[in-house]
Amino acid sequence: MRERAQEFFEELQDGICRGLETADGAARFREDAWERVGGGGGRTRVMVDGAVFEKAGVNFSAVHGDLPEAYAARIELGSGSSFFATGVSLVLHPRNPHVPTVHANFRYLEKGDAAWFGGGADLTPYYPVREDVVHFHRTLKDACDRHNADYYPRFKKWCDEYFFIRHREETRGVGGIFFDYLQGDLDALFAFVRDAGEAFLPAYAPIVEKRKSLPYTEREREFQLIRRGRYAEFNLVYDRGTIFGLETRGRTESILMSLPPLASWVYDYHPEPDTPEAEAWDYFRPHDWLDSTKN
């Protein structure tokens, strides 16, 4: 499974990068190949100052070795401290406030005698459009439903709970799916993770195409930077991938690739009533996006 998962994640990185370069239409990814002290390495690909993407990063890694004992004890599964981890993670920060930021991560891990899959994808719009949110969720649900009808409702709820900024009492965005510690039939789980990973571009690229040419104002750009500040807060305080990378002495530049190039923190910010910003804020709480009677 190590070899199969690693090969798939390398191919997934290649396919997603090709799709994003097509969507941007101008910029190309720069690749940095790196090795991890202690075992393994990866490929970090970053695209900056594109026609669409102000900053886009797509990482692949396959690392192994021994975890620090204190951190190993905090991982729920497996014995000892030896580990192997491979996966793809990406964060895309468009320049236009009408194009959502997006994150995805798909991974396979082993620790001692345990092995599992984790991952997911979630959308963070600044000025949400309901049809975009529904499309994103519907595409991910279709990938889930090919394997288990319980996956989407279970993983959608998990996503809402995980990407919740507790100190702000708001979600990071409009969710998607999130799953971790999936054990059991690894072949069946791998088939699901493949479908979920390959659903990313169909879920996101059509939204980019529809919104990337919309005009925007300086006010909308300022609101985007405020919401990016929330994104940074979550990644630095709560994100498991960030914590895992730092605790396992991964490559710092690759780990912090997820942070936006620009962000803003306005003291005691609240959107003005009856504005597009106030309307957007209503999206930053859990919704059943695929049931119009509940929204």
Give the integer Cα–Cα distance in Å for 107 and 180.
9
Q: Find the catalytic residue in 64, 93, 98, 103.
A: 103
The pairing of beta strand 101-111 with beta strand 114-124: antiparallel
* Residue 168 tokens, joined: 């702000």
Sign of CA dihedral 142, 143, 144, 147: positive
Chain centroid to CA 131: how far?
20
Provide φ and ψ at 100, rounded to 5°.
-70, 150
Q: Shortest CA distance to 120 belongs to which of 14, 32, 239, 2? A: 239
Residue listed under structure tokens 């780990």: 255
Report whether 121 contacts 101 (CB < 8 A).
Answer: no
Report whether 126 contacts 100 (CB < 8 A).
Answer: yes
H-type alpha helices, the chain: 2-24, 69-74, 130-145, 151-162, 186-198, 200-211, 218-237, 240-247, 252-255, 276-281
Give the CA angle between residues 185, 190, 192 to the nearest 5°: 100
Give the integer Cα–Cα distance in Å for 59 and 254.
7
Report whether 270 contacts 261 (CB < 8 A).
Answer: no
> Is residue 103 annotated as a catalytic residue, yes or no?
yes
Residue listed under structure tokens 């998990």: 158
With H, G, I as helix, E, B as strand and everything else as coil, classify residue 181.
strand
Catalytically annotated residues: 103
